[in-house]
Structure 1
Amino acid sequence: MRSATKNNINKTIRVHNKSNTPDFLVLQKQKMIQKCIEIESKLPSFLSDFFLFLKSSVATSTRLAYLEDIYFFCLYLIKETHKTDAESPSHISLDTFKTITAKDINFFLGQYCSRYIIEGEHSFKVIENHQRSLARKKSSLSVMFKNLFRDDLIPRNITDGFNPIQLPKPQPDAIKRLEIDEVVKLLDIVENGDLLTDKEKNYWKKTKYRDRAILVLFLTYGLRLNELQQLNISSFNFNRGEFKLYRKRGKESLMPINYSCEEVIKEYIYYERVADENISAEHQDALFLSLQKRRMTIRAIRNMVKKYTALILGTSSRNGYSPHKLRATAATALIQQGFSIFDVQNLMDHDNVATTQLYAAHKKDAKRELVKNFEWVDSEK
């Protein structure tokens, strides 16, 4: 069965879709599922029940991340320890897993994963993981070892002995966002091409309506990068004044569309977007297209946002703000205009209102006014 699965990995995928989910999203998910199957075929067979658990219990992206972490751990056992004589992860025995202790995992996470070296043919690559990466690896291994213990494959639950990984608490003052006047300047640059080089202006003339529509959507709704990249022409119903989003974990959400967003999208479609007959069937429904007449990639959208925000910030494109910073800009601006924190939470699709509260706490002007009107020393002396 495994060999048959591996032989099918590179075959062309055709979508026969009877759901409301767009074909390209079905295709994206299927590609992730194929990656999961490929990794599973390289892991020990006694993890088969655990694979079923992941398939039915977590999102596909989480499933893939867990499997990648576990495969990395198995490679570590082979290359860096004396726990096994196996030549590949698939040949690691259950007896080897029975000998693994919490101390072994703590060493793997705290000592090895924090910084390790990958040797290439002509160079060495140093990999350094931050706390969030280590926490995810710990979560992947915890879920796996708990599952093995639950299924009586290992004699004890070693996860109780895993060392905690302290994650830095997000600080409101550390939230990076654009100020209102910077947003105005940003949209002016996209509309007029100011501050762009002659070479950049040649490109801007072909994409200015598209780029402005992208930025306005980010700044109005605080969309995630994936959510914007996945927008289709058919996502929008201008007669009903709404559009459909596909959010985290496959949730569908209907969003009202305001005048500004409707105008910039229509201008892009009417004045700049190429006609459908000139676009391949695969990309005809995609809202935002590259100059190659294909759906814009996540990387292309991120680079575009960084390029324009860098001009506002007076820095290099590499240090410009990411789309996530525009999400923070939208959340902060809405709260500062007096909208309910719970309404903003719903618009932003935050799982926890505590996340939204971080933006409510980020009020530099309020802090300035507080200390300005609370003087202990008489300034007229």
Structure 2
Amino acid sequence: MVKIHNKSDKPDNIILKENNIIEKCKKLEDDMPLFFRDYFIFLKNSVSLSSRLAYLEDIFYFLKYLTEEEEKFMGFNTIKDIDLETFAMLKARDINYYIGEYCSRYYKDINGKEYIFQNDNRSLARKKSSLSSLFKYLYRNEQLENNITDGFNPIKLPKSQPDAVKKLDIDEVSILIEVVETGKGLSDKEKIYWNKTKLRDKAILLFFITYGLRLSEIQQLNLSSFNYSRNEFKIYRKRGKEALMPLNKTIQKALKEYLEQERPQINHLDEENQDALFLSLQNKRMTMKAIRELVKKYTSIVMGTTKNNGYSPHKLRATAASSLIEYGFSIYDVKNILDHDNVTTTQLYSAHRKNLKRDIIKNFEWED
């Protein structure tokens, strides 16, 4: 157990989560070549923690590929042993083959079983971005003579289409709330757990469909996040941004019922979980996986499908965005609430109003 000496405004659980990511980054950095050191410092101060980890994982996997598949790198005992002179021999075509051919579909033996791994263009574009960042920096840092990224093949990404937005309609949201309130559609075994967690589950779903919060933002909520005298609560967005969100009557009522009737008292919890808002039946802070499964379970009942095909928390974020726009709020207001970087993202939900085409044509009669 890591003891936290916290002098910042951030709650301990977020400090601990960030520390876990930092430790993963340090472990990856320790296993990679020493001549990457300056790049690691650059990465540390230029991108978010989660992006830093993603970049390092992509780069580590690329180095692993080199030592296992590329003849001139097979002589190195470990990834860390790769030297700059050999690394500088890589050409753009080597990277293009790795991303376009090897990463798109490859086999791996895991515990005696052969698995097929496949990446779509979005995943390949992220791997390309990670490697581009590395090679561009080494060139700027005068460690490589040429900027080979100019020769990287482009990767075409599909444009987001409004009709492809997956979300619940407003009438389906009403059914979702009814399901979590009544247990309708749950199996007898599921109802045993539902009777113990229905108020918690309802509060979680309401946070998703009211504010369009991200999964991590809900999972990190604490009792201390709320200021009831001001009717607001604090969340921590991507890249460490803080935001104050207002409380409405629906959320206040759901929280009050959960806290008074279902959530264990603080003296029954260990110190680490006393401040956590949403708890598991084991009296631990709910994991993101548990919340994700909860959302998929209830949405699958609404849509009449299997649990595996139920909607993810991000689909409820889309539901909140579309519902707010359908109720008449401007895309700029919705952009602010959902923390979109660009208003074009919000416009995608605006274009997906239910029956929009029908409403337009109905009110566009030439004979009238």
Which TM-score band applies after superposition, normalised by the shorter structure?
over 0.9
Kindly indicate whether residue 328 of structure 2 is the aligned counterpart of residue 338 of structure 1.
Answer: yes
2:186 to 185, 192, 196: 196
Task: Give 1:252-263 correspondences, 5 Å limit.
Answer: 252-263=242-253
Counterpart of 2:203, as a letter, is A
**Aligned partners of 2:141 and 2:295: how far apart in 1?**
48
Q: How many Å apart are 1:369 and its aligned residue?
A: 2.6
2:202 to 169, 188, 212: 212
Kindly indicate whether residue 138 of structure 2 is the aligned counterpart of residue 148 of structure 1.
Answer: yes
2:271 to 273, 281, 287: 281
Which residue pairs with 1:57 in the alignment? 46
Which residue pairs with 2:4 in the alignment? 15
Report SS of the residue matched to 2:233. strand
How high is the TM-score relative to the length of structure 2? 0.97
Task: Give 1:151-230 correspondences, 5 Å limit.
Answer: 151-230=141-220
Residue 332 of structure 1 contacts residue 360 of structure 1 at CA under 8 Å; is this kept in 2?
yes
Residue 210 of structure 1 contacts residue 272 of structure 1 at CA under 8 Å; is this kept in 2?
yes
Residue 97 of structure 1 contacts residue 154 of structure 1 at CA under 8 Å; is this kept in 2?
no
Kindly indicate whether residue 81 of structure 2 is the aligned counterpart of residue 91 of structure 1.
Answer: yes
Which residue pairs with 1:7 in the alignment? none
Report SS of the residue matched to 1:199. helix
Which residue pairs with 1:266 in the alignment? 256
**Aligned partners of 2:48 and 2:293: how far apart in 1?**
27
Which residue pairs with 1:6 in the alignment? none
Task: Give 1:19-168 correspondences, 5 Å limit.
Answer: 19-84=8-73, 85-168=75-158
Counterpart of 1:260, as a letter, is T
**Aligned partners of 2:284 and 2:327: how far apart in 1?**
38
Q: How many Å apart are 1:373 and its aligned residue?
A: 5.7
Q: Which runs of 5+ in 1 are unaligned?
A: 1-11
How high is the TM-score relative to the length of structure 1? 0.94
Which structure's relative contact order is higher, taking Cα pairs within 8 Å and 6+ residues apart? 2
Q: How many Å apart are 1:375 and its aligned residue?
A: 7.6
Residue 50 of structure 1 contacts residue 147 of structure 1 at CA under 8 Å; is this kept in 2?
yes
Q: What's the C-alpha RMSD, in Å, of the aligned pairs?
A: 1.3
Q: How many Å apart are 1:284 and its aligned residue?
A: 0.5
Q: Which runs of 5+ in 2 are unaligned?
A: none
- Per-residue CA deviations over 1:179-217 (Å, capped at 9, x if unaligned) read 111111110111111122211111110000000000111
Residue 222 of structure 1 contacts residue 329 of structure 1 at CA under 8 Å; is this kept in 2?
yes
Report SS of the residue matched to 2:6. coil
Aligned sequence identity (%): 56
**Aligned partners of 1:341 and 1:373: how far apart in 2?**
23
